[in-house]
A = this chain, B = another copy of it.
Amino acid sequence: MLSKNQIRFINRLRTKKNRKAEGLFLAEGIKGIEEFLNSGFQLYRLFHTADYEPSPGLDAQEVTERELKSVSSLSTPNKVLGIFRIPPETPVLETGFSLALDDINDPGNLGTIIRLCDWFDIPQILCSENTVDCYNPKVVQASMGSLSRVSINYLDLEAYLNTTTRTVYGTFMEGESLYSTTFEQNGILIMGNEANGISDRIRCLVSKEVSIPQFGKRKSTESLNVAMATAIFLSELRR
């Protein structure tokens, strides 16, 4: 059974400020939670329905389906809700290829981008401080467990790009075609905000502007969504 205090505590973790203060975040669903457990994330507490059997030794508490539904953000809650400790950020890698995000706002986009980095073996994402929090429940949900395998750092992106020795690629409508670009092994690819793209103060730190060309005669007036563009860039980078 869930106490009123527990319900209040779980709901508190829906805001970034409270997650930061408590050092905790929420994850839902069997698959995602087992991936966090298997990746060494520290469980704070697990709430589960009677038909889910938690591994022995976990701090687990049985609740009714109705109670789980009352604290779930899913329309169809999936048997478990876990509270995990937010791990400390790992140091920024100075070699290899990283993705950098300049103010990505949409939780679904960030979750999808984390999945793509997991798929294409990009070990680290560098986020500007205004990028949506990766422990936002919608991001955790959309990342489908990939958040347990990709490390994410929030930092002053402008200051960092000023100091890095890696080649900095930025995505722009008018850049060189990605199909004719040779990406360095040690590089950073910046994806910009959904509405405004890469900001001017970041743009002047980009060493190479790249783009996805449109095909055919009839030109679309809309650019591709940032998650689509990330899929295409990472595929081209790794092929």
Contact = CB atoms under 8 A, between A and B. Distances in A.
Interface string A142-170: 00111001000000000000000000000
Contacts of A221: 31, 35, 145
B179 A215 contact: no
A22 interface: no
A149 B231 contact: no
Contacts of A236: 235, 239
Query: Looking at A118, A144, A214, which has the most chain B CB atoms within 10 Å of its CB?
Result: A118
Contacts of A212: 119, 235
Contacts of A238: 215
Interface string A213-239: 011101011101101100110011011
A112 interface: yes
A119 B215 contact: yes
A100 interface: no
A32 to B, nearest CB: 9
Contacts of A218: 118, 121, 149
Interface string A78-104: 000000000000000000000000000
A116 interface: yes
Contacts of A31: 221-222
Interface of A: 31, 35, 112, 115-116, 118-121, 123, 144-146, 149, 179, 212, 214-216, 218, 220-222, 224-225, 227-228, 231-232, 235-236, 238-239
12 contacts: A31-B222, A115-B222, A116-B224, A119-B224, A145-B220, A145-B221, A145-B222, A179-B239, A212-B235, A227-B228, A228-B231, A231-B231
Given A119-B224, A121-B216, A235-B236, 7 more contacts: A35-B221, A115-B222, A120-B216, A146-B220, A149-B220, A215-B238, A231-B231
